[in-house]
A and B are shown apart, each in its own frame.
Chain A
């Protein structure tokens, strides 16, 4: 349908696609360090409250996205204490694109952590023990053995987080609303188009774009994941 002669996108629609891409990428990279830390703690750590942490991490997966968005709003909204602190540093979440990035990363977080944890669970602790007896401290064991071995799952998690963030709707629209060219993401734009009579054609184009981008992300994940898995297995 992209090749339809009358194919054209309005500025607003182009902005929505760009914002969604931007938000998904930022959200993914911003949550990467925390996702890695939490996955490592869940996979290797022995501490009080581990089950609690596990449950908390999975909350966004279980709660209705609107509820997650509401919580974020009531935590980081302009009138809240935490929102004021961030505002001092020039970061505003509610009704700003930063909020969309935050919503994307929060909603994608459980998937991100699960993907990395799967990889960590598959790393043989005996290799880490061997590295320790060869003089590597915990930090260096992680950097020289654990991390290289989980690169495939890391890539899988990143793509998953990107795709989830790219399509996030419920929490995003609750936290940042649906302001064209400001906080309107691709899903919000599709939603808005479907609300007006005769908007289906524009919606279809955007739907086509999201299918295309999702497929590309999946293909990229496959290619990167395979080559990384090969490298990790010493092939």
Chain B
């Protein structure tokens, strides 16, 4: 799969210009409100016609201003999930789910097995309910199933959880994760919430004022100090993967990573599974000597590979831990007191309870 995007568009005073090439997997897209995310999404699914450019998926051209090609939304086969569920109020739940099948009467038919969708999204108990009695989260699950029914070539998810409260988000996120894993369909996932993106995405696209500011593997972007002002300091940190090797009776789990074993509480996975964890820069402490008699369980031997001073008296320290990158956010005074310089070996201390699991691997 390769999605080629090259477009320019003026909307509401912002000139968007994108030149991107997206491939397999889940790409998270984030950026401030009004930064042009919606322009990108609408141009992809054909709800707006860009001023100029070219959009194609594999060898199918969706839009080409020079050749005068513009495929309307219904001919693009993109599964779009919007912020609101947008269920059709005059149709039953089942009719909503199978809506796209009405337009697939002739070969090549692309109709997903209804039972598969019902099972994947846990819709069985909802089937006999009227759409207006469903909760916001349940409606959103139905709308995901409705988009899935068409066996889309690519999924566009435009802040699918942002209209829901926290418990509802937590309810739907596992379904989305399963969908991303099982369907093998590339996904573009737009969201403000980095906590959602780290659970779903492999790649991250950062948008600022209608331009792609950064694009790359999620772990790399989140630990790039140069992007801290855009991502937000509290969201900065490393994303590590490891194998769950041991679950102690007290609930503490051992995760084998490249940098050595990490002891973390309550990882939600079976033994032997790969688990992704997020080590936020603000939860990492640096020591020059190996600390003794410390409550923190995880102490890693590292080498400083970078120091970036911010405007807020803090400094982001890039650390190398046996090939994995770790990020620590400390005060500039501490950095001066510890005489931190690039190449200096030091110890990174990680509070177990602060580590958040990012489910998907």
Chain A residues with CB under 8 Å of chain B are 124, 126-127, 129-138, 140, 144-145, 148-149, 231-235
Contact = CB atoms under 8 A, between A and B. Distances in A.
A216 to B, nearest CB: 28
Given A134-B147, A144-B102, A234-B131, A129 B88 contact: no
Contacts of A231: 90
A233 B104 contact: no
Interface string B98-113: 0110111000000000
A234 B90 contact: yes
B47 interface: yes
B73 interface: yes
Given A140-B103, A234-B130, A234-B131, A135 B150 contact: yes
Nearest to A235: B132
Contact of A232 (B45, B72, B90, B150): B90
Q: Is the interface of A mostly helix, strand, loop or mixed?
A: helix
Contacts of B88: 127, 130-131, 145
A129 B90 contact: no
A41 to B, nearest CB: 19
Given A234-B132, A235-B132, A135 B146 contact: no
A134 B130 contact: no
Nearest to B156: A133
B84 interface: yes
A126 B82 contact: yes
B80 interface: yes
A106 to B, nearest CB: 32
Interface string B236-271: 000000000000000000000000000000000000
A234 B90 CA distance: 5
Contacts of A131: 88, 99
A234 B94 CA distance: 13
Contacts of B213: none
Contacts of A145: 88, 90
Given A132-B47, A134-B100, 16 more contacts: A126-B86, A129-B82, A130-B82, A131-B99, A133-B74, A135-B100, A135-B104, A136-B74, A136-B99, A136-B103, A138-B72, A140-B74, A145-B88, A145-B90, A148-B90, A231-B90
A234 B143 CA distance: 16
A234 B132 CA distance: 6
B13 interface: no
A113 B234 CA distance: 56
Contacts of A127: 86, 88-89
10 nearest A-B pairs in the assembled complex, by CB-CB distance: A135-B103, A130-B86, A132-B73, A133-B80, A134-B100, A234-B89, A234-B132, A148-B90, A135-B100, A135-B74
B78 interface: yes
Contacts of A140: 74, 102-103
A151 B149 CA distance: 28
B89 A232 contact: yes
A193 B91 CA distance: 53
A106 B131 CA distance: 41
A145 B88 CA distance: 7
Given A232-B89, A233-B132, A137 B72 contact: yes
A144 B76 CA distance: 19
Contacts of B45: 133
A61 B325 CA distance: 75
A127 B45 CA distance: 15
A148 B92 CA distance: 13
Nearest to A233: B89
A130 B73 CA distance: 9
Contacts of A130: 80, 82, 86, 88, 143
Nearest to B91: A234
A149 B74 contact: no
Contacts of B147: 133-134
Contacts of B78: 133
Nearest to B95: A144
A80 to B, nearest CB: 44
A130 B74 CA distance: 10
A124 B72 CA distance: 19
Nearest to B76: A133
27 contacts: A126-B82, A126-B86, A129-B47, A129-B73, A129-B86, A130-B82, A130-B143, A131-B88, A133-B45, A133-B73, A133-B76, A134-B74, A134-B99, A134-B100, A134-B146, A135-B77, A135-B104, A136-B74, A136-B99, A136-B102, A137-B72, A137-B74, A140-B103, A232-B89, A233-B89, A234-B91, A234-B92
Interface string B134-164: 0000000001001100100000000000000
B84 A126 contact: yes
